[in-house]
Amino acid sequence: MRKLAARLYDWLDARLDLADLTAPLRHKTVPVHYFSYWYYLGGMTLFLFFVQVVTGILLLLYYRPTANEAFESVQFIMTRVRFGWLIRGLHAWSANLMILCAFAHMFSVLFLRAYRKPRELTWVSGCVLLFLALGFGFSGYLLPWNELAFFATKVGTDIVGQVPAVGHWLMVFLRGGEEVTGATLTRFFGFHVAVLPAITVLFLGIHLALIQRQGISVPPGLEPAMHVLAYLRKHDPAAAEMLIKTAGVQPETREMPFFPNFFLRELMAWYIALGLLGVLAALAPWELGAKADAFAPAPAGIKPEWYFLWMFQTLKLIPGKLGPIDGELAGILAFSAAGVLWVLLPFFDRDKGRAQRLIKGAGIFALAYIVAMTAYGYIAK
């Protein structure tokens, strides 16, 4: 078996020069220090994305994207198809955990200042990927065509309609008409399984290529020590020991090869995540609810998915009129402006204390705001 694999490798190597291709993988290293665990979050997000791709393709085998059949086809998947409950449960849970991981990854990058020069574009592409993930969540939420999703989509697309100038056009584009109907479902299905995946693959490629090219960031506070220690370890190990003992330098400031050391650790984390997903899908099944009915009143306590809740809650709190403009509109404009600033954050980072403190403050504020508003959204009736 092993011999066969080796011969196959040699055969391919003779034709494709694999050694050349795998060289970057062999030279790639991951810094080891006491913040290292945060490095797993990006890979974890990627893993959950893989789970989404696989379970999504499986769901496509039975799902039917029309207003008459969507709900029934999901019901069919949940009740008749063997392991259908598991596949849909995995898809729903993994989607939510993926967005959670992406948010956590983003904030860890922010607080470890990994976005700083030369990695501004990695941050920007990551922000785009997060927006795409939110788009996946929003479009996928409608697909079972149940009551909650129907009204959430009505509200969500209506908010888009408030944007000045292009708002109405955008809303009609999203809904496939003036109202949320079967046409909206068909469209969202197209976005969810074709448009968004294609764009995501592109930006994921850019994001990963940038990381591969630039290597993994080391938190700025640790950078000098890591370089000095690495140099000493190579040329004067005794001095390195001295430095660790006397100057309080963390002995952990070193690197491990990406392959196989980091890769296997990451694989272990993925394995645990898969187990967790299975447990969640089995013990906390994703509900289907009641079929959407355009002529039924909105059910009480309607809320969007948790990752939109903080925005939803904010819009609820803004008074109807803010001076001359609509409160709703003011909120949307504020969120849009904040979003743009957020994407451009690395470009404000100068090697001066003030700008850095400002960014750190903005990060802490954003995190606290999102957590607080989400909690408030759940408590508020």
Partner 1 sequence: MNPVPESAGPSEAASPATPRRRLLGMLLGSSLAASLASILYPILKFVQPPATGELEVDSVAAAGGDELAPGMSKIFRFGSRPGLLVRLPDGSYRGFNATCTHLNCTVQYRGGEQDIWCACHNGIYDLRGRNVSGPPPRPLEEYDVHERGGEIVVARRQKA
Length of the chain: 381
Q: How far, in Å, CA of 205 to CA of 258, rounded?
A: 18
Tokens for 104, please give them.
């956590």
Task: State which of residues 35, 62, 306, 342 lies at the interface with partner 1 (CB under 8 A).
Answer: 62
Contact yes or no for 291/299 (Cβ under 8 A): no
Q: What does residue 115 show for φ and ψ, rounded to 5 degrees?
A: -75, -15
CB of 226 to partner 1, least distance (A): 6
Contacts of 63 (CB under 8 A, 6+ apart): 70, 73, 74, 77, 143
CB of 113 to partner 1, least distance (A): 19
Is residue 83 a contact point for partner 1 (CB under 8 A)? Answer: yes
CB of 227 to partner 1, least distance (A): 6
| Neighbouring C-beta atoms of residue 55, cutoff 10 Å | 22
Is residue 56 a contact point for partner 1 (CB under 8 A)? Answer: no
**Which of 15-23, 26-34, 107-115, 365-373 is the region at the interface with partner 1 (rule: CB under 8 A)?**
26-34
Tokens for 169, please give them.
């056009």
If the CB atoms of residues 80 and 352 are measured against partner 1, the closer one turns out to be 80
If the CB atoms of residues 85 and 203 are measured against partner 1, the closer one turns out to be 85
If the CB atoms of residues 282 and 358 are measured against partner 1, the closer one turns out to be 282
CB of 326 to partner 1, least distance (A): 48
CB of 241 to partner 1, least distance (A): 14
**Which of 98-106, 249-257, 295-303, 358-366 is the region at the interface with partner 1 (rule: CB under 8 A)?**
249-257
If the CB atoms of residues 234 and 354 are measured against partner 1, the closer one turns out to be 234
Is residue 58 a contact point for partner 1 (CB under 8 A)? Answer: yes
Q: How far, in Å, CA of 147 to CA of 213, rounded?
A: 47
Strand partners, 322: 325
CB of 121 to partner 1, least distance (A): 24
- Ordered DSSP codes for 241-295: HHHHHHH---TT-EEEEIIIIIHHHHHHHHHHHHHHHHHHHHHSPPP--SBP-TT
**Which of 66-74, 78-86, 146-154, 194-202 is the region at the interface with partner 1 (rule: CB under 8 A)?**
78-86
Task: State which of residues 231, 347, 348, 369 lies at the interface with partner 1 (CB under 8 A).
Answer: 231
If the CB atoms of residues 173 and 271 are measured against partner 1, the closer one turns out to be 271
If the CB atoms of residues 31 and 182 are measured against partner 1, the closer one turns out to be 31
Q: How far, in Å, CA of 172 to CA of 161, rounded?
A: 8
Is residue 86 a contact point for partner 1 (CB under 8 A)? Answer: yes
Q: How far, in Å, CA of 246 to CA of 244, rounded?
A: 6
Going through the chain in order, the beta strands assigned E by DSSP cover 29-32, 254-257, 321-322, 325-326
CB of 86 to partner 1, least distance (A): 6
Contacts of 91 (CB under 8 A, 6+ apart): 51, 52, 55, 56, 59
If the CB atoms of residues 121 and 230 are measured against partner 1, the closer one turns out to be 230
Contact yes or no for 167/160 (Cβ under 8 A): yes
If the CB atoms of residues 271 and 378 are measured against partner 1, the closer one turns out to be 271
Q: Looking only at residues 250 through 289 of this chain, which bind partner 1 when binding is defined by CB under 8 A?
A: 254-257, 260-261, 271, 274
Q: Looking only at residues 189 through 228 of this chain, which bind partner 1 when binding is defined by CB under 8 A?
A: 226-227
Q: Angle 120-142/182-190 helices, nearest 10 degrees?
A: 150
Is residue 29 a contact point for partner 1 (CB under 8 A)? Answer: yes
Is residue 24 a contact point for partner 1 (CB under 8 A)? Answer: no
* # residues contacting partner 1 (CB under 8 A): 28
Amino acid at 199: I
Q: Looking only at residues 92 through 151 of this chain, which bind partner 1 when binding is defined by CB under 8 A?
A: none
CB of 125 to partner 1, least distance (A): 26
If the CB atoms of residues 118 and 361 are measured against partner 1, the closer one turns out to be 118
Q: How many H-runs (helices) and E-runs (strands) does the chain carry?
A: 16, 4
Q: How far, in Å, CA of 207 to CA of 223, rounded?
A: 23
Q: Provide the binding-site residues for partner 1, judged by CB under 8 A.
A: 29, 31-32, 58, 61-62, 80-84, 86-87, 226-227, 229-231, 233-234, 254-257, 260-261, 271, 274
